[in-house]
A and B are shown apart, each in its own frame.
Chain A
Amino acid sequence: MFKQGSIQSHLNFRDKFLAMDFVLLSCIIFLGLISFFAMYSTDGGEFAYHTKSHIVRFFVFFFLFFVASFFKTSFWYSTSIPIYIFILILLIFVKYFGLTSSGSQRWLDLYFLNLQPSELMKIGLILFLANYYHRISAGDVNRITFLFKPLVALIIPFILVVTQPDLGTAFLIGVGGFIVIWLAGVKMKYFTYFGLILVSLTPIAISFLKPYQKSRILTFLDPSRDPLGAGYQITQSKIAIGSGGFFGKGFLNGSQSYLDYLPEKHTDFIFTLFSEEFGFFGSSIVLALYVVMTMRIVSIGNMVRDTFSKLYCYSFATAFFIYVAVNMCMVLGLIPIVGAPLPILSYGGSSMMAMMLGLGIAMSCKIHKDQSIN
């Protein structure tokens, strides 16, 4: 076992490149290309600010992806806790020095980028918990004392993000964390208890909701309640997607987005725009790409041997899938609008950075699957 590790540790650049998962890599590149076209369309068919900026970010973070994947898994294992703490500090920083936009304080001004640490926390928390469960023995997983630490690690960033306020991201961070805890083997009954506590806290939680958040939930339950107000986004998004038909209205011909009926078309509703212009055909391809990506990451998880990598890959794949599913369900009017970007396709540097980093670490697990992390 030691021997094997020492042989594999001398992978050169070429070996690492060839060890990559090319299906996953092509999916990323393909989605990247699709996102360029979609962004070009949101700019009204001009090579304007959003398109340029998105392309630049894609390449910058695609490079980050490579860098991340060439680092040994053991590096990621050993830095998981510092990374988590670093992001946590950033989140606390946001509380005091963050930029405020449309009522919520989410960003740190880094001059070249407005960094949204909450997006990075999605990966940070998964890394931290995967590391934690790697270290404790199987027998300890279900002991109450060992549940305490992961819950605290989950709840602190959750609360920090909820109070920004950013319910959507907080929810996605929390879900990511729970997936790790669940995969690690924590018994069902704890989840049940936790669920019961959550339900009993719901009335209190509702009293903390901002009016617009309440109205979003009510509107989701009945979009026709206020078709020109809060229900507007859901209604217009459904109209855009539905009117796309099978083959769509054609590139740059999405009247709903072109005429500004679509809200947040660069970010959360980018899938709507794409779906309007490329129809069922295009939407299915995008959905398929995401499904294939998820499956590839899961298959990496199947290959790796150590608990950290396995937990990380499975959890990231699942979280990644949930980000996609939440965004799509949201624009399709299946769940309330929570403000969740679509990985890679949506405009937004921090989300792109987080996803590329996450994918990079998963790819690192693939490349270094035969190396011990200890």
Chain B
Amino acid sequence: MINSSGESKSKLIGRRMFVISAAKAVVVFGILGRLVSLQINESKKYKTLSDKNRFREWKFSPPRGTINDYYGKQIASNKQVYQLHIIPENSENIETLLFRLKNILNLTDKKVFKIRRKITSQKPWDPVVISDNLTWSEFSRINLFLHELQGAEPIVSVARLYTEPSSAHVIGYVSKASKKDLQNKAYLKDKITTSTRVGKTGLESKLDLQVLGDVGYKRYEVNAYGKRIKEISINPGKAGQNFKTTLDQEVQELASNLLKDKSGSVCVMDIYKGDIVAMVSSPVFDPNQFVHGINTENWNKLIKHRDKPLINKSIAGLYPPGSTIKSLAVISALENDVFNPKTVIRCSGSIELYGEKFHCWKKKGHGYMDMREGLKQSCDVYFYEVARKLGIDRLSETARKFGLGEKVLDGFIEERTGIVPNTSWKKKYIGKNWYLGETLHAGIGQGYWQSSPMQLCLMTAQIANGGYKIKPRIILNDDESKKFSDLNQFIEDRKLFADDVVSLYDFISKFKYKSLFRNPENIKFVIDALYGATNEPGGTSYGSRLTKKGFIFAGKTGTSQVKRFTARQRELEIKNEDLPYKDRDHALFVAFAPFNDPRYAISVVIEHGGSGSKSAAPIAKKVIKKVLERHPLREAQANGEVA
């Protein structure tokens, strides 16, 4: 009985075991299938993931490329800085470390709070910058205590250094990348590291991509806790490209000194090559403040300053061109055949139009004068008449041709275009029709006009070179320099025909510059009249002339009204200096030199400086002298550069 029971039990057990064996087979194939899927089908994907685990890269930014002046003098360079980073995961107790560092470096609670937040927001193996600019004594103190500061890493690095405050505006500054920078500048994506500084304004911003260089990295094999096991490879990256500019730092410095305590701008340009020799804005600021983060106090000082030191007035300051527009008014009138230069008009100090009185700057009036005299003495009445005949649309067309109303330089984010008013502009932006009275104001450069000093400089350069369009440049590049190699030879040849005012025209046409005139005589007429304005008695800038041969220059003053004179003020003969600062006129002066063989154009603007002849022309005179003195040196440099 036991036996038979055992038999039936055995059978049942055997049957059930069969079911289990079948289930086992399914499981075995399941496991095998999974192995095939992971190790054969998807092996590549997991190999990549495994490598991602294995390697970690630490990026570091290479030194920023330097920016130099024409003679190789460094304007923006790099200096050694002492930094302190911490790598949170290397520290056994981050709180103790922070406490120790706080004591050693006298960190504020706010700073410690910020550091803590930073630590929690990133991976524990990513370094956190505690300070990127330690003093030597702080740095040595850190090194002294280093054995008890696990996780702290003192680092010797390089940071931007600006040695020339006079070039602060044109160079711009660098600072930590903001969220906006990261969004707007796609190139930053591959270039950014914890210590990267990005260009915010000026050339630093324009050249940012090239001066940043390529990020280097150290690739380590790391374990699961991020600890570096061994260095696998190192890529030193590529240092940023160095740039040479057309600027002459000595001229920059002189101009900056001349503008000291004033608010304004000086621009100097080569009238053939378009090289910007100087571009100075005043007051200056210290761009070094931004490299390691500017403090609130200094920031407020800059922001609230009356004269807006952060604005590059050469390209972002806009002023009515005042009488400097009169040269263009003459050109426009002659080119359009609406005015005979021989036309004589009597200036009695003012004219009337539809019951409105238009005053000349000279209350007593200039008397009888033709066009040359009118430009030379800057007679407003004469130009009311010119403008009336010419009309605003033709004047604005000429102004646009000569470079007003559009950006002069490439890639300067802060540059502004200004306004060249005409009838359609007014309709579009103000929504009203143009009045004839506004044409008269426009004829003497007042009213809606807005132009930057650099635009006025370009305008003057393009008159001085005989009416040819040039492309201003600030970055030197070899190809363009080669193009100009014949220029010097030509100037040598040309000396045989000294005193020939417009002798370089042939040369210019050789370069197929676009001419801006219909009849070259019209340009010559203006050049001659401007000679009179500076070098003949009665000329508006006669007092600032240079008489030494080779230094004679020709220029046009301008005074642009900030606020229109009331009839009452006119009656009381209130002087500009007596007005509140903000209401005083801007002083302008544009010129080119040397007169016989023009090479440079200059524009000077002094905000609220009064009349152009009194405050702008004397500064221009000194700058012109310096520029001309340095001309041979510049030529030698240019020749060397080509060779």
Contacts and interface: CB of A to CB of B under 8 A. Distances in A.
Partners in one complex: yes
A184 B9 CA distance: 7
A310 B12 CA distance: 11
A241 B35 contact: yes
B426 interface: no
Interface string B162-205: 00000000000000000000000000000000000000000000
A279 B53 CA distance: 19
Interface residues of B, number: 39
B13 A185 contact: yes
B39 A244 contact: yes
Contacts of A287: 28, 31-32, 35
A332 B34 contact: yes
A332 B24 contact: no
Given A179-B20, A284-B32, A307 B39 contact: no
Interface in B5-59: 5-6, 8-10, 12-14, 16-17, 20-21, 24, 27-28, 30-32, 34-36, 38-40, 42-43, 45-47, 49-50, 53-54
Interface string A162-185: 000000000000000001001111
B31 A310 contact: no
Contact of B46 (A184, A241, A306, A328): A241
A287 B35 CA distance: 10
B560 to A, nearest CB: 65
Contacts of B5: 137-139
A179 B13 CA distance: 11
A139 B43 CA distance: 55
Contacts of B224: 236, 259-261
A143 to B, nearest CB: 14
Given A239-B49, A241-B46, A259-B53, A298 B17 contact: yes
A334 to B, nearest CB: 6
Contacts of B9: 133, 138, 184-185, 307
A242 B46 contact: yes
A329 B31 contact: yes
B53 A261 contact: yes
B43 A307 contact: no
B491 interface: no
Given A185-B12, A185-B16, A239-B50, A246 B39 contact: yes
Contacts of B32: 284, 287
A314 B16 CA distance: 10
A284 B35 contact: yes
A137 B222 CA distance: 64
Interface residues of A, number: 49
Contacts, number: 132
Contact of A245 (B20, B43, B221, B225): B43
A294 B24 CA distance: 10
A138 B42 contact: no
Contacts of B40: 245-246, 280
A338 interface: no
Interface string A231-250: 00000101111111110000
Contacts of B42: 242
B6 A242 contact: no
Interface of A is mostly: helix
Interface in B348-406: none
Given A184-B13, A280-B40, A243 B49 contact: yes
A243 B50 contact: yes
B140 interface: no
A118 interface: no
A238 B38 contact: yes
A179 B222 CA distance: 46
B181 to A, nearest CB: 30
B31 A328 contact: yes
Interface string A257-273: 00111000000000000
Contacts of B221: 255, 259
A137 B45 CA distance: 58
Nearest to B8: A138
B223 interface: yes
B229 interface: yes
A332 B31 contact: yes
Given A138-B8, A280-B40, A291-B28, A311 B13 contact: yes
A183 B13 contact: yes
Contacts of B35: 241, 275, 280, 283-284, 287, 332
A325 B17 contact: no
A192 B93 CA distance: 56
A310 B8 CA distance: 13
Nearest to A280: B39
Which of B12, B17, B53 has the most C-beta atoms of chain A within 10 angstroms of its own C-beta? Answer: B17
B369 to A, nearest CB: 86
Contact of A242 (B8, B31, B39): B39
A253 to B, nearest CB: 11
Interface in A112-155: 133, 137-139
A259 B51 CA distance: 11
B31 A239 contact: no
A243 B13 contact: no
B229 A183 contact: no
A275 B39 contact: yes
A9 B540 CA distance: 138
Nearest to A301: B17
B17 A255 contact: no
A241 B21 CA distance: 27
B342 to A, nearest CB: 88
Given A294-B24, A298-B17, A314-B13, A259 B229 contact: yes
A251 interface: no
A256 interface: yes
Contacts of B47: 242-243, 245
A110 to B, nearest CB: 33
Nearest to B25: A291
Given A240-B50, A255-B50, 16 more contacts: A183-B16, A183-B20, A184-B13, A241-B46, A242-B46, A244-B39, A255-B53, A259-B224, A261-B53, A261-B223, A287-B35, A305-B6, A318-B17, A318-B24, A325-B31, A328-B31
6 contacts: A184-B9, A241-B38, A245-B43, A245-B47, A246-B43, A287-B32
Interface of B: 5-6, 8-10, 12-14, 16-17, 20-21, 24, 27-28, 30-32, 34-36, 38-40, 42-43, 45-47, 49-50, 53-54, 221-225, 229
Interface of A: 133, 137-139, 179, 182-185, 236, 238-246, 255-256, 259-261, 275, 279-280, 283-284, 287, 291, 294, 298, 301-302, 305-307, 310-311, 314, 318, 321, 325, 328-329, 332-334
Question: Would you list the 4 A-B pairs with minimal beta carbon distance, nearest first?
Answer: A242-B46, A243-B50, A280-B39, A260-B224
